[in-house]
Amino acid sequence: MRAEIIPAFFLCALAVPSWGQQNLEAAYRSTGSAVTAAFESQRAVLQTSSAVILEGREESGYGVVISPEGHILAKASEVIELKNPAVTVDRTKYPEVKILGVDPEWDVALLKVEAAGLIPVVYAPTSAVPQGTWVVANGATTRTTRRLLAGIVSAKIREIPASGGAALGVVLKADSKVLEIDAVNEKSGAQEAGLKKGDVILAIEGTAVRKIEDIAAALKERKAGSTVEVKLRRGKDEVTAKVRLAAKSELFSDQMNRNDQMSGDFSTRRSGFPRVLQHDILGSSKIVGGPLLDLDGRCLGMNIARANRAESFAIPVEDLKAIGARLMEWAAKPRGQDSVD
């Protein structure tokens, strides 16, 4: 349901200096240094087994180290467009980063740096831990030292459907009798697949579409990140294109709701995940991609989105392991052999 939500208020400032009030020093607040110091053993795991992804000197995300040879999982949509990414693990900077594969449905990329002897994360046996369980994730970082933020598992594990439904990313001409494309969204799979203004959509996944409702029906059960085959008429030709679907509200996000305005910073892609573990660690949207640890320092999952001011999502460990294995297998497969032989 999307009922209008009663918003909490913004306080611009406390207009009158307050007296007689008690204040807890910053160090003792939940994100303060005295409190986070209690998580030193988990921080040590972040130090060795989380990766900082850098663009120039700026950190643009984190990653999970999954092999001693330098395989790292990260949030695909945050790293894929970096021009010159580098990675830091512990105190070592790796200037060369390859993207070996991407799982678009989960928004996970497999990265590789030339390394040896890295310490991969230890997976927790299950993500099915009670609400209220402590979790630890990357906070900010310095060049040499990882910092941490701590929080709790805050809600039930569940699917986050694509917000607004999965969409191709095209605007159709309003007064046309056919499904003629009027504009292609720049961030969309339609753009990547080369769809153009003037193309007429004829079929999706082999099913003929004639009106806008047909497209909605064809995409209804599909997930963001998955790909559909679209048949088009371009001039006199018929062409087919494989188009990656994305959450509609993330493509056409000119209207922020009130909670978005309140949230300040949130991940561009924050919906359309098959399963997430929710927690209340709320750093900047740049802290996604790193591991979510339990008190034993084991990996409960990988942070995948800061959804809003109060909710963060992680891919649960079972799914993360499967995604990692799938991407590793795919990357290891020899390809293009016929042309080599």
Q: Which stretches of the chain bind another protein, using CB under 8 A? A: 1-16, 18-24, 27-32, 34-35, 37-39, 41, 130-134, 151-152, 154-156, 158-159, 258-259, 262-264, 278, 280, 282, 295, 308-311
Report the amino acid identity of residue 232.
L
Contacts of 90 (CB under 8 A, 6+ apart): 47, 48
Q: Give least dist CB 269 to another protein, A.
A: 18
Cβ nearer to another protein, comparing 94 with 273: 273
The identity of residue 178, as a single letter, is V
Distance in Å, CB of 224 to another protein, minimum? 17
Would you give the end-to-end CA distance of the chain in angstroms? 57
- Closest to another protein by CB, 179 or 305: 305
- By beta-carbon proximity to another protein, the closer residue of 216 and 295 is 295
Contacts of 68 (CB under 8 A, 6+ apart): 115, 116, 117, 118, 119, 120
Nearer to another protein, 117 or 130 (CB): 130
Please identify, using beta-carbon distances, which residue of 121 and 282 lies nearer to another protein.
282
Least spacing, CB of residue 290 vs another protein, in Å: 19
Q: How far is the CB of 315 from another protein (least distance, A)?
A: 16
Short-list 330, 294, 293, CA closest to 108: 330
User: In 3D, which of 106, 108, 114, 110 has the Cα closest to residue 89?
Assistant: 114
Question: Of 161, 158, 213, 131, whose CA–CA distance to 1 is shortest?
Answer: 161
SS3 246: strand
How far is residue 166's CA from residue 254's CA, in Å, rounded to a whole number? Answer: 17
Nearer to another protein, 26 or 171 (CB): 26
Shorter beta-carbon distance to another protein: residue 6 or 174: 6
Q: How far is the CB of 77 from another protein (least distance, A)?
A: 22
Question: Residue 253's Cα: distance from chain center in Å?
Answer: 16
Instruction: Report the run of H or E that residue 44 belongs to, with start and end.
Output: helix 40-49
Least spacing, CB of residue 304 vs another protein, in Å: 16
Shortest Cβ 120–another protein spacing (Å):
23
Please, which residues have CB within 8 angstroms of residue 101's CB and are 6 or more apart in sequence?
109, 110, 327, 330, 331
